[in-house]
A and B are shown apart, each in its own frame.
Chain A
Protein backbone atom coordinates (compact mmCIF):
# COMPACT_ATOMS: atom_id res chain seq x y z
CA UNK A 1 0.00 0.00 0.00
CA UNK A 2 1.43 3.37 -1.04
CA UNK A 3 1.44 6.64 0.90
CA UNK A 4 -1.22 8.31 -1.28
CA UNK A 5 -3.67 5.45 -0.58
CA UNK A 6 -3.25 6.15 3.11
CA UNK A 7 -4.05 9.84 2.71
CA UNK A 8 -6.50 10.95 5.38
CA UNK A 9 -5.68 7.98 7.61
CA UNK A 10 -2.00 8.60 8.37
CA UNK A 11 -2.75 10.47 11.62
CA UNK A 12 -4.89 7.63 12.98
CA UNK A 13 -2.29 5.04 11.97
CA UNK A 14 0.48 6.99 13.73
CA UNK A 15 -1.63 7.45 16.85
CA UNK A 16 -2.34 3.71 16.87
CA UNK A 17 1.40 2.97 16.61
CA UNK A 18 1.94 5.02 19.78
CA UNK A 19 -0.91 3.43 21.71
CA UNK A 20 1.31 0.71 23.16
CA UNK A 21 3.73 3.21 24.73
CA UNK A 22 6.27 5.88 23.85
CA UNK A 23 8.26 5.44 20.64
CA UNK A 24 10.75 7.42 18.57
CA UNK A 25 10.24 8.00 14.84
CA UNK A 26 12.05 4.93 13.57
CA UNK A 27 10.33 2.72 16.16
CA UNK A 28 6.96 4.06 14.99
CA UNK A 29 7.84 3.04 11.43
CA UNK A 30 8.97 -0.39 12.60
CA UNK A 31 5.75 -0.83 14.60
CA UNK A 32 3.69 0.04 11.51
CA UNK A 33 5.68 -2.44 9.42
CA UNK A 34 5.11 -5.18 11.97
CA UNK A 35 1.41 -4.48 12.48
CA UNK A 36 0.73 -4.40 8.70
CA UNK A 37 3.05 -7.24 7.74
CA UNK A 38 5.21 -4.80 5.79
CA UNK A 39 2.34 -3.72 3.49
CA UNK A 40 2.64 -0.01 4.31
CA UNK A 41 5.18 1.49 1.91
CA UNK A 42 5.67 4.98 3.37
CA UNK A 43 8.67 7.21 2.68
CA UNK A 44 10.21 7.14 6.15
CA UNK A 45 11.19 10.80 6.06
CA UNK A 46 7.61 11.99 5.80
CA UNK A 47 6.63 10.28 9.07
CA UNK A 48 8.67 12.80 11.06
CA UNK A 49 6.83 15.95 9.88
CA UNK A 50 3.54 14.11 10.47
CA UNK A 51 4.60 13.38 14.06
CA UNK A 52 5.51 17.06 14.46
CA UNK A 53 2.03 18.03 13.20
CA UNK A 54 0.34 15.68 15.68
CA UNK A 55 2.47 17.18 18.45
CA UNK A 56 1.41 20.71 17.49
CA UNK A 57 -2.21 19.54 17.57
CA UNK A 58 -1.68 18.34 21.16
CA UNK A 59 -2.42 14.69 20.28
CA UNK A 60 1.08 13.49 21.14
CA UNK A 61 3.91 14.94 23.19
CA UNK A 62 7.63 14.67 22.46
CA UNK A 63 10.67 14.54 24.72
CA UNK A 64 14.42 14.33 24.05
CA UNK A 65 16.88 11.72 25.28
CA UNK A 66 20.42 10.75 24.29
CA UNK A 67 20.94 7.24 22.89
CA UNK A 68 24.30 6.06 21.57
CA UNK A 69 25.58 9.64 21.53
CA UNK A 70 22.70 10.82 19.35
CA UNK A 71 19.78 12.97 20.45
CA UNK A 72 16.51 11.12 20.04
CA UNK A 73 12.95 12.44 20.18
CA UNK A 74 10.41 10.10 21.67
CA UNK A 75 6.65 10.57 21.38
CA UNK A 76 3.78 9.47 23.57
CA UNK A 77 0.00 9.80 23.27
CA UNK A 78 -1.75 12.54 25.24
CA UNK A 79 -5.25 12.15 26.68
CA UNK A 80 -6.56 14.13 23.68
CA UNK A 81 -4.64 11.76 21.40
CA UNK A 82 -6.27 8.70 22.98
CA UNK A 83 -9.71 10.26 22.52
CA UNK A 84 -8.90 11.16 18.91
CA UNK A 85 -7.69 7.61 18.22
CA UNK A 86 -10.85 6.14 19.70
CA UNK A 87 -12.99 8.45 17.54
CA UNK A 88 -10.99 7.69 14.38
CA UNK A 89 -11.32 3.95 15.01
CA UNK A 90 -15.09 4.21 15.33
CA UNK A 91 -15.27 6.35 12.16
CA UNK A 92 -13.10 3.86 10.28
CA UNK A 93 -15.23 0.86 11.30
CA UNK A 94 -18.36 2.70 10.18
CA UNK A 95 -16.74 3.78 6.89
CA UNK A 96 -15.33 0.31 6.16
CA UNK A 97 -18.67 -1.37 6.89
CA UNK A 98 -20.54 1.09 4.65
CA UNK A 99 -18.13 0.82 1.69
CA UNK A 100 -17.91 -2.98 2.04
CA UNK A 101 -21.69 -3.17 1.93
CA UNK A 102 -21.75 -1.01 -1.22
CA UNK A 103 -18.97 -2.94 -2.97
CA UNK A 104 -20.23 -6.39 -2.12
CA UNK A 105 -23.94 -5.76 -2.48
CA UNK A 106 -24.67 -6.64 1.13
CA UNK A 107 -27.07 -4.71 3.38
CA UNK A 108 -25.33 -2.04 5.44
CA UNK A 109 -25.06 -3.11 9.11
CA UNK A 110 -25.70 0.47 10.35
CA UNK A 111 -28.26 2.09 8.01
CA UNK A 112 -28.84 5.85 8.37
Chain B
Protein backbone atom coordinates (compact mmCIF):
# COMPACT_ATOMS: atom_id res chain seq x y z
CA UNK B 1 0.00 0.00 0.00
CA UNK B 2 1.38 3.43 -0.85
CA UNK B 3 2.28 5.83 1.95
CA UNK B 4 -0.26 8.34 0.64
CA UNK B 5 -3.12 5.84 0.80
CA UNK B 6 -2.03 4.76 4.28
CA UNK B 7 -2.04 8.36 5.48
CA UNK B 8 -5.54 8.87 4.11
CA UNK B 9 -6.80 5.81 5.98
CA UNK B 10 -5.14 6.94 9.18
CA UNK B 11 -6.80 10.34 8.89
CA UNK B 12 -10.20 8.76 8.36
CA UNK B 13 -9.62 6.58 11.42
CA UNK B 14 -8.62 9.64 13.44
CA UNK B 15 -11.80 11.36 12.31
CA UNK B 16 -13.86 8.41 13.51
CA UNK B 17 -12.03 8.48 16.83
CA UNK B 18 -12.70 12.20 17.22
CA UNK B 19 -16.36 11.74 16.40
CA UNK B 20 -16.63 9.06 19.08
CA UNK B 21 -14.66 10.95 21.73
CA UNK B 22 -16.51 14.24 21.34
CA UNK B 23 -20.05 12.87 21.42
CA UNK B 24 -22.47 10.87 23.48
CA UNK B 25 -21.89 8.52 25.23
CA UNK B 26 -18.14 8.89 25.70
CA UNK B 27 -18.45 12.60 26.35
CA UNK B 28 -20.92 11.94 29.15
CA UNK B 29 -18.13 10.25 31.12
CA UNK B 30 -16.76 13.69 31.97
CA UNK B 31 -20.05 15.38 32.72
CA UNK B 32 -19.70 15.69 36.50
CA UNK B 33 -19.46 18.57 38.88
CA UNK B 34 -15.87 18.31 39.98
CA UNK B 35 -12.71 20.37 40.08
CA UNK B 36 -9.42 18.92 38.82
CA UNK B 37 -6.40 20.98 39.90
CA UNK B 38 -8.83 23.84 40.46
CA UNK B 39 -10.30 23.51 36.97
CA UNK B 40 -13.83 22.30 36.22
CA UNK B 41 -13.74 18.71 34.96
CA UNK B 42 -15.98 18.87 31.91
CA UNK B 43 -14.51 21.91 30.10
CA UNK B 44 -11.00 20.77 31.00
CA UNK B 45 -11.64 17.30 29.60
CA UNK B 46 -12.99 18.83 26.38
CA UNK B 47 -9.94 21.01 25.90
CA UNK B 48 -7.54 18.18 26.70
CA UNK B 49 -9.24 15.80 24.24
CA UNK B 50 -9.27 18.54 21.65
CA UNK B 51 -5.57 19.28 22.10
CA UNK B 52 -4.73 15.57 21.92
CA UNK B 53 -6.58 15.21 18.62
CA UNK B 54 -4.75 18.21 17.18
CA UNK B 55 -1.46 16.76 18.39
CA UNK B 56 -2.15 13.44 16.68
CA UNK B 57 -3.17 15.20 13.49
CA UNK B 58 -0.02 17.31 13.50
CA UNK B 59 2.09 14.21 14.09
CA UNK B 60 0.47 12.33 11.21
CA UNK B 61 0.70 15.19 8.74
CA UNK B 62 4.12 16.59 9.57
CA UNK B 63 5.74 13.16 9.77
CA UNK B 64 5.03 12.45 6.12
CA UNK B 65 5.78 15.99 4.96
CA UNK B 66 8.67 14.87 2.73
CA UNK B 67 6.94 12.17 0.69
CA UNK B 68 9.67 11.83 -1.93
CA UNK B 69 12.44 11.55 0.65
CA UNK B 70 10.68 8.84 2.63
CA UNK B 71 10.16 6.76 -0.52
CA UNK B 72 13.89 6.84 -1.12
CA UNK B 73 14.56 5.88 2.47
CA UNK B 74 12.28 2.87 1.99
CA UNK B 75 14.28 1.79 -1.05
CA UNK B 76 17.53 2.14 0.87
CA UNK B 77 16.24 -0.14 3.61
CA UNK B 78 15.69 -2.94 1.14
CA UNK B 79 19.40 -3.39 0.46
CA UNK B 80 20.86 -6.82 1.31
CA UNK B 81 22.36 -7.12 4.78
CA UNK B 82 25.91 -5.89 5.22
CA UNK B 83 28.63 -8.47 4.79
CA UNK B 84 30.41 -9.06 8.06
CA UNK B 85 33.94 -9.66 6.70
Partners in one complex: no
